[in-house]
Amino acid sequence: MALLSKKDTKLITDPLLDNNPITIQVLGICSALAITAQLKASIVMAVSVLAVLGIGNVVISLMRNIIPSKIRIIVQLVVVAALVIIVDQVLKAFSYELSKTLSVFVGLIITNCIIMGRFEAFALANGPWRSFLDGIGNAAGYGLILVIVGFFRELLGSGTLLGFKVLGDPIEKTGLYALGYENNGFMLLSPMALIVVGIIIWVQRSRNKALIEDH
């Protein structure tokens, strides 16, 4: 007996590619762009969103029959804000340096539209287990883009990955630098994040023609 039925597996795998929250649903872009100058920050952000969205979806799904529809936005905001405060405090306690790098963007998980979007579109209509899978799937799709962008920006911008010098030492001129390669500092600046995401969208839509928009 499989742990996940076919339908359940689809909940997780769908948002990874064909229904990716960032490139297809156009949600949660702010944080995806702002903190991806380093791979490590991207990973931490992805994990934080995974935790908030996974738990939040379950909580909302459990409460879905008792929330009056008129005040559901406020209820959702309170649930997310509470979870984000926990994530923020955990980050401050165990990795203060990183929480400084992420600065206000941890707080901005509250207004990350992926979270509200999944609450509205899925958790309010489905049971806790399926909501959990849906939350994990969407957060993973978000994280995937974050990690890809973070990977390229850190590799090309500072020649490191997670802080390790993978392209050699730029000062002593070893590795690739001996051949005349220079770090492209421009990759670390904000506009390049937009352009990298634009290129990811380009690649993705070239592979799957069904996703192409009119204008």
Partner 1 sequence: MEHIELFLKSIFIDNMVFATFLGMCSYLAVSKKVSTAVGLGAAVIFVLAITVPLNWLLDQYLLQPGALKWLGAEYADYDLSFLSFIMFIATIATMVQLVEIIVEKFSPSLYNSLGIFLPLIAVNCAILGGSLFMQSREIPSIGLATTYGVGSGIGWFLAILAIAAIREKIRYSNVPPALRGLGITFIITGLMAIGFMSFGGMLTGGDDEGAKEEKTVKVETPKTENVNELANNTKVIN
Residues that bind partner 1 (CB under 8 A): 23, 26-31, 33-34, 37, 73-74, 77-78, 81-82, 84-85, 88-89, 92, 99-104, 107-108, 110-113, 116, 188-195, 197-198, 201-203, 205-206, 209, 212-215
d(CA 94, CA 108): 20
Which ranges in 119-174 belong to alpha helices (H)? 128-158
User: Is the CB of 79 or the CB of 136 nearer to partner 1?
Assistant: 79
**Cα angle for residues 127, 128, 130 (degrees, 5° grid):** 70
Q: How far is the CB of 99 from partner 1 (least distance, A)?
A: 8
Cβ contact 13:137 at 8 Å? yes
Largest CA distance in the chain: 65
User: To the nearest whole angstrom, how small is the minimum distance from the Cβ of residue 120 to partner 1?
Assistant: 10
Tell me how far apart the alpha carbons of residues 142 and 22 are, in angstroms, rounded to a whole number: 6
Cβ closer to partner 1: 66 or 93? 93
Q: Which is nearer to partner 1, 77 or 161 (CB)?
A: 77
Looking at the Cβ atoms of 133 and 143, the one nearer to partner 1 is 143
**Tokens for 196?**
């990298």
Q: Quote the least distance from Cβ 202 to partner 1, whole Å.
A: 5
CB of 198 vs partner 1, minimal distance in Å: 4
**Distance set, CA 88 to CA 24, 79, 110, 123 (Å):** 28, 14, 11, 24
Element (H, E) at 123: none
In the complex with partner 1, the residue whose CB is nearer, 34 or 58, is 34
User: Least distance in Å: CB of 134 to partner 1?
Assistant: 19
